[in-house]
């Protein structure tokens, strides 16, 4: 089908074509993803392979200084008259050794311990923390039994510092490779009869050619410590038995392999059933929340932006005010208004279980979400409506198109095609929409058949409850990983598709 055919279709045909190509595009997009993943691994292996090759080549080609820098970092640089740089490398190596001896090795050795021995006698030292399945199943320890609090290992600390040690080691390794490269490069420069860069010159590079290093080093370090490290830690928790029976620091927890995943997905009937139901409701919620907001928001924007409508600023401001009030305030107000006794029920003397009956609660969270979200959609689609080139309408008018035709032929296709990516981001956002559910129902009503979840709980609010209220950190981690995988792969697929769609048909 070429472009001309596409243009000649009616709007209905265009939409059905769009929908059809959306679904027929899915296998292609999935294939693309696997191809991309394959390419990624291929380039990764090539990168590692080349890295080793060059690493060896630099060693065999290099002079004594370069060779020495393979053992003592910075030696090459110092011998090639780059004293400042060499000292930095040397300091890094000494620092790393000190770090490993005093800190890292302790946590590396404790991370996997087969021989967990527990002595209930006071003052005895525990060894091994995140070990394998322990020989003694019952490991609960009463705090009163302990005289020396410091002698007990804290599983959290060990796992956290283990992850930290691994990250430091990777960073050090990168630095080490940099050191050998730098030694080799300066050797080549000397061979060419030139002078390698001095320390001052090298530092100046950080304001010019290497300015990205200067700009990015602090943000990336912050991210690595306070964002990546906790994420790695949490992912590790999914493979441990860190739950309310194994609460660190009082009690130890240890590795259990894929048991938690099995529990959530099939083997534990209560957990897996809860997971299935919560997942289903999450999807239903995401579909309704996304499309209700989208459609109503666009209709509202169209009404406000209609040419003959006056006081546009007034209408817009009225809706923006509701969006501008902090969400926790509006949602807490809504919760009170929908209370069993207060709010609307008190005003009208009714007794409608807005948030305490399943069906009512599910409808009400979607309705309140409309109330919360429509002003945003209105704002955004107003912006889009203004972006529609005015000459399109002009030429349509000259051709004698009426208002309805202008809408179906110009406005609607434009908005629909332009906002498809936005729609997808909102969908993913709604899967993770924490606030509305948490502040309105907190997941409730909570039937006994659910494992610590309620009937309006989304995966993320369930995750929150498991973390904060019931201390099932391992299950929370499994759910977090699941949500991540779903959102990431979904976004990647649609991202790929919208990219290919953009090449196929352009709105004109």
Partner 1 sequence: MTNTSMQPNTQMQGGYAAKRRAANTAIYIILSVMVLIWIFPIFWLLMQSFRGETGVSKNYIFPKQWTFNNYVKLFNDEHFHYGQWILNTFIVAVVACVVSTLVILMVSYALSRLRFKSRKTLLNCGLVLGMFPGFMSMAATYNLMNTFGLAKSLVGLVIVYSAGAGLGYQVSKGFFDTIPRSLDEAAKIDGATKNQIFWRIILPLSKPIIVYTALTTFIGPWGDYIFVSYFMKQHSENWTVALGLYNMLEKEYIFDYFTTFCAGAVFIAIPITILFIFMQKFYVAGVTGGAVKG
Among 46, 151, 306, 363, binds partner 1 (CB under 8 A): 306
Contact 466, 479 (CB under 8 A): yes
Q: State how far the Cα of 287 lies from the Cα of 197, in Å rounded to an integer.
A: 60
Interface with partner 1 by CB under 8 A: which range of 48-56, 132-140, 190-198, 315-323?
Answer: 315-323
3-state helix, strand, coil in the chain (%, to 5): 70, 0, 30
Size of the site for partner 1 (CB under 8 A): 102
Q: State how far the Cα of 92 lies from the Cα of 175, in Å rounded to an integer.
A: 8
Least distance from partner 1 to the Cβ atom of residue 32, Å: 15
Q: State how far the Cα of 105 lies from the Cα of 111, in Å rounded to an integer.
A: 10
User: What residues from 447 to 506 belong to the interface with partner 1 (CB under 8 A)?
Assistant: 460, 463-464, 467-468, 473, 476-477, 480, 483-484, 487-488, 491, 495, 498-499, 502
Q: How many CB atoms lie within 10 A of CB 490?
A: 14
For residue 197, what is the DSSP state?
P
User: What residues from 31 to 90 belong to the interface with partner 1 (CB under 8 A)?
Assistant: none
For residue 248, what is the DSSP state?
T
- Count Cβ neighbours within 10 Å for each residue of 200-225 and write b for 16 or more, e otherwise: eebeeeeeeeeeeeeeeeeeeeeebe
27 binds partner 1 (CB under 8 A): no
3 binds partner 1 (CB under 8 A): no
Least distance from partner 1 to the Cβ atom of residue 121, Å: 28
Q: Which is nearer to partner 1, 20 or 204 (CB)?
A: 204
Q: Which is nearer to partner 1, 91 or 170 (CB)?
A: 170
Q: State how far the Cα of 94 lies from the Cα of 74, in Å rounded to an integer.
A: 11
User: What residues from 348 to 407 belong to the interface with partner 1 (CB under 8 A)?
Assistant: 349, 371, 374-375, 379-380, 382-384, 387, 397, 400, 402-403
Interface with partner 1 by CB under 8 A: which range of 126-134, 251-259, 431-439, 449-457?
Answer: 431-439
Backbone phi and psi for residue 357, each to the nearest 5 degrees, phi listed first: -105, 140
Among 10, 105, 336, 449, binds partner 1 (CB under 8 A): 336
Among 341, 351, 506, 508, binds partner 1 (CB under 8 A): 341
Please name the residues in contact with 412: beta carbons below 8 A apart, sequence gap of 6 or more: 11
User: What residues from 207 to 236 belong to the interface with partner 1 (CB under 8 A)?
Assistant: 207-209, 211-212, 214-216, 218-220, 222-223, 225-231, 233-234
Which sign, positive or negative, has the C-alpha torsion 408, 414, 418, 422?
A: negative
Least distance from partner 1 to the Cβ atom of residue 209, Å: 7
Among 97, 203, 295, 333, binds partner 1 (CB under 8 A): 333
446 binds partner 1 (CB under 8 A): no
Q: State how far the Cα of 293 lies from the Cα of 306, in Å rounded to an integer.
A: 20
Please name the residues in contact with 404: beta carbons below 8 A apart, sequence gap of 6 or more: none
Collapsing DSSP to helix, strand or coil, 384 comes out as helix
Q: Which is nearer to partner 1, 191 or 341 (CB)?
A: 341
Q: Which is nearer to partner 1, 183 or 460 (CB)?
A: 460
- Which neighbouring-strand residues pair with 117? 127
Long-range interactions of 85-88: CB distance < 8 A, separation 24+? 85/182, 85/199, 85/202
Q: Which is nearer to partner 1, 251 or 467 (CB)?
A: 467
Interface with partner 1 by CB under 8 A: which range of 13-21, 129-137, 318-326, 443-451?
Answer: 318-326
Least distance from partner 1 to the Cβ atom of residue 376, Å: 8
CA 288 to chain centre: 23
Q: State how far the Cα of 74 lies from the Cα of 80, in Å rounded to an integer.
A: 10
Least distance from partner 1 to the Cβ atom of residue 418, Å: 6
Least distance from partner 1 to the Cβ atom of residue 54, Å: 15
Least distance from partner 1 to the Cβ atom of residue 364, Å: 13
Structure tokens at 486: 């779903």
User: What residues from 131 to 190 belong to the interface with partner 1 (CB under 8 A)?
Assistant: 156-157, 160
Interface with partner 1 by CB under 8 A: which range of 253-261, 269-277, 324-332, 357-365?
Answer: 324-332
């Amino acid at each position: 089908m070429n472009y001309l055919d596409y243009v000649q279709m009616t709007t209905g045909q265009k939409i059905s074509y769009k929908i059809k190509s959306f679904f027929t595009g899915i296998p292609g997009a999935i294939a693309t993803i696997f191809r991309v993943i394959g390419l990624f691994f291929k380039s990764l292996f090539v990168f590692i392979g080349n890295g080793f090759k060059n690493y060896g080549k630099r060693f065999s080609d290099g002079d004594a200084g370069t060779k020495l820098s393979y053992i003592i970092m910075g030696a090459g640089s110092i011998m090639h008259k780059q004293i400042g740089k060499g000292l930095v490398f040397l300091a890094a190596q000494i620092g790393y050794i000190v770090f490993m001896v005093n800190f890292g090795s302790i946590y590396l050795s404790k991370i996997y311990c087969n021989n967990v021995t527990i002595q209930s006698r006071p003052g005895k030292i525990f060894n091994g923390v995140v070990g394998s399945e322990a020989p003694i199943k019952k490991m609960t320890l009463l705090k009163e039994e302990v005289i020396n609090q410091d002698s007990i290992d804290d599983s959290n600390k060990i796992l956290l510092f283990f992850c930290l040690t691994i990250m430091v080691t990777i960073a050090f390794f990168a630095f080490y490779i940099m050191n050998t490269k730098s030694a080799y490069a300066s050797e080549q420069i000397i061979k060419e009869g030139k002078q390698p860069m001095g320390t001052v010159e090298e530092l100046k590079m950080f304001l010019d050619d290497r300015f990205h290093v200067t700009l990015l080093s602090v943000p990336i370090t912050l991210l690595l410590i306070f964002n990546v490290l906790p994420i790695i830690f949490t992912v590790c928790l999914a493979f441990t038995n860190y739950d309310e029976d194994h609460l660190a620091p009082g009690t130890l927890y240890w590795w259990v392999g894929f048991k938690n995943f099995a529990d959530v997905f099939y083997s534990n009937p209560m957990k897996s059933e809860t997971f299935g139901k919560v997942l289903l409701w999450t999807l239903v919620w995401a579909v309704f929340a996304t499309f209700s907001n989208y459609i109503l928001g666009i209709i509202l924007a169209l009404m406000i932006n209609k040419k003959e409508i006056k006081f546009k600023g007034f209408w817009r401001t009225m809706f923006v005010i509701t969006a501008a009030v902090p969400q926790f305030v509006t949602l807490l107000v809504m919760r009170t208004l929908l209370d069993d006794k207060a709010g609307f029920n008190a005003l009208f003397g009714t007794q409608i279980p807005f948030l305490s009956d399943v069906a009512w609660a599910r409808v009400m969270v979607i309705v309140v979400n409309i109330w919360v979200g429509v002003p945003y959609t209105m704002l955004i689609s107003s912006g889009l409506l203004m972006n529609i080139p005015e000459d399109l309408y002009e030429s349509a008018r000259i051709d004698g198109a009426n208002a309805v035709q202008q809408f179906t032929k110009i406005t609607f296709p434009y908005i629909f095609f332009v906002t498809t990516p936005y729609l997808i981001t909102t969908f993913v956002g709604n899967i993770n929409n924490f606030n509305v559910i948490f502040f309105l129902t907190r997941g409730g009503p909570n039937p006994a058949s659910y494992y610590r979840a309620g009937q309006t709980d989304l995966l993320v609010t369930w995750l929150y409850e498991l973390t904060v209220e019931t201390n099932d950190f391992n299950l929370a981690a499994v759910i977090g990983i699941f949500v991540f995988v779903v959102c990431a792969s979904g976004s990647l697929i649609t991202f790929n598709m919208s990219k290919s769609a953009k090449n196929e048909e352009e709105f004109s």
